[in-house]
Amino acid sequence: MADETNAAVEAPPQEATVDADATAVEQEPRRPVDPDFEPEIIVFACHYCAYAAADLAGSLRLQYPATIRIIKLPCTGKLEVIHLLHAIESGADGVYAAGCMEGECHFLKGNLWARKRVALVKGLLAEVGADPERIEMYNMSSADGPEFARVANEFTERIRLLGPNPLRRHGVSPHSLVRDAVKHIAIADEAADSAAPPDDTPPPVATSEKGPAE
């Protein structure tokens, strides 16, 4: 009798089994992956770095998904929390800011502010039960076209595994909604030339709706 009691008391805890299960669940897609799902992704790209890198990726004929929609900003520091939330609320499946390398922002700390705002929005999304992985911050140099393409492909794959944004509405273009909402901070096509850095680099010729190389 005493042996049976001791055996019950000394039974191994169940945590190890539970943790292993939880890890297994985390590693699996949370929803069935739809092979036809093409995520619509909005990129807030700094004119000085990520936008130039996108241009370079196009020149190098590097491939990235056509559903990457770029909105050009003079600096990612212009991006506010409300803009990021609006992009998700508009139905974008994924959103990321792409700014200059840390320490190289033309406005000193714009990219650092952007990183903090992205982190804040991630926290807000997690609090309301949405996917914080739908939003991200990246840094890259203007000369790194391959990095722009790599990030675009990697982030698209991440979103593909997450599935469509539940807030997406049929017949509504998230990119159009967001572009209108941020037109007061974005660089319009006609302003691109005058906002270009004063060097010998030809001004970007692509528009804010530019897609990847065909």
Q: Which of 49, 54, 102 lies closest to 75 in space, CA to CA?
A: 49
Q: Which of 71, 75, 70 lies closest to 100 in space, CA to CA?
A: 75
For residue 134, the SS3 value is helix
Smallest separation, CB 95 to ligand FES (Å): 16
Tell which one of 99, 145, 204, 212 touches ligand FES (CB under 6 A): 99
Q: Is 212 in the site for ligand FES (CB under 6 A)?
A: no
- Window contacting ligand FES (CB under 6 A); options: 74-82, 120-128, 149-157, 205-213: 74-82
Beta strands in the chain (DSSP E): 41-46, 68-73, 94-99, 135-139
Q: Which of 155, 188, 172 lies closest to 71 in space, CA to CA?
A: 188
Task: CB nearer to ligand FES: give 94 or 99.
Answer: 99
Q: Is 76 in the site for ligand FES (CB under 6 A)?
A: yes
- Window contacting ligand FES (CB under 6 A); options: 33-41, 98-106, 145-153, 188-196: 98-106
Q: How many residues appear in the chain? A: 214
Q: Is 111 in the site for ligand FES (CB under 6 A)?
A: yes
Tell which one of 106, 130, 158, 185 touches ligand FES (CB under 6 A): 106
